Amino acid sequence: MAAGKFKIALIQLTVGKDKNANLHKAESLIREAAENNARVISLPECFNSPYDTGCFPDYAETIPGGITSDCLSKLARECRIYLIGGSIPEKDGDNFYNTCAVFGPQGDFLGKYRKMHLFDIDIPGKIKFKESVTLTGGSELFTFDTEWCKIGIGICRDIRFPELASLYAQKGCKLICYPAAFSMITGPPDWEVLIRAIALQNQLYVTAISPARDDSPGACYTAYGHSMISNPGGDVIASTKEKESIVYGEVDLKRLDEIREGLPLMIQKRYDVYSPVKVITAGVCKVCHN
């Protein structure tokens, strides 16, 4: 692999009710991706637990220190990879979070990101889901450095809020990874559009990693699948459909630099006027601090 390039893998796995079986499946697919020279590997949202608010407290663990964190740390060390642990339910005191833990090639715990924008939705006759019944939203961004670039983390619904991606770009990220589990209602119209838009507007690589679709009788939640990688030009460079699979792609930082040099959005952003925002209404200048 040439300097300025690295291979990333997205693990789109089937998630069941047996936590140990989920971990064994994740381990097998991570090892396969590492053997295929992926240096950064990401799991999907809620990869060790059914995506069900009623299940989260029973499956929740401390991060680090729980069995899932220990498993991911061991895998990162043995495979010599950066491992983005999708997300799992986290217990911290009396609160529960939807949390992504990240581990480095030495097995070291690099930090964690707690989903900020919880999935509270009610579309009559289609879908009703409310994460906030069980979960608390996070309030901090999380980035980590690799020998290639800085990487930022979001989780699922966070991708709908462009401010988060813009902040990551401002902080120097050249890749944002979103473990996610869009539904069959929101996935078909929105998934690809959102991924490509975030990549294009912020001129960085974006990955979105979904569980495989489980539409069997008794399934708690049916994810859309279609894990995907977009480049800074908004092009889809790798994707899959709904079944269990590994998506591989190359992050080419030279190409990113070329795009940013040709269309220098990052240096043309007007942060000096974005906050506070000046709003002109009927000839009167008002200042909005929101």
Q: Could you tell me how far CA 279 lies from the centroid of its own chain? A: 34
Which of 45, 61, 90, 242 is the catalytic position? 45
**Consecutive H or E run containing 166:** helix 162-170
Q: Does 149 participate in catalysis according to the annotation?
A: no
Per-residue pLDDT band at 290 (split at 50, 70, 90): very low
**CATH fold of 5-265:** Nitrilase/N-carbamoyl-D-aminoacid amidohydrolase (3.60.110)
Which of 149, 156, 173, 177 is the catalytic position? 156
Q: Is the dihedral of CA 122, 125, 126, 131 positive or negative?
A: positive
Q: Could you tell me how far CA 270 lies from the centroid of its own chain? A: 27
Note the pLDDT of residue 285: 47
Note the pLDDT of residue 266: 86
Q: Does 112 participate in catalysis according to the annotation?
A: no
Q: How high is the mean pLDDT of the chain? A: 92
Residue pLDDT, tens place only, 177-233: 999 999 999 999 999 999 999 999 999 999 999 999 998 877 778 999 999 999 999
Mean pLDDT computed over 12-33: 97
Mean pLDDT computed over 118-146: 89
Which of 25, 112, 115, 174 is the catalytic position? 115
CA 212/CA 225 separation, integer angstroms: 5
- The domain limits of the chain are 5-265
Per-residue pLDDT band at 280 (split at 50, 70, 90): low
Q: Kindly report the pTM of this predicted structure.
A: 0.92
Q: Does 163 participate in catalysis according to the annotation?
A: no
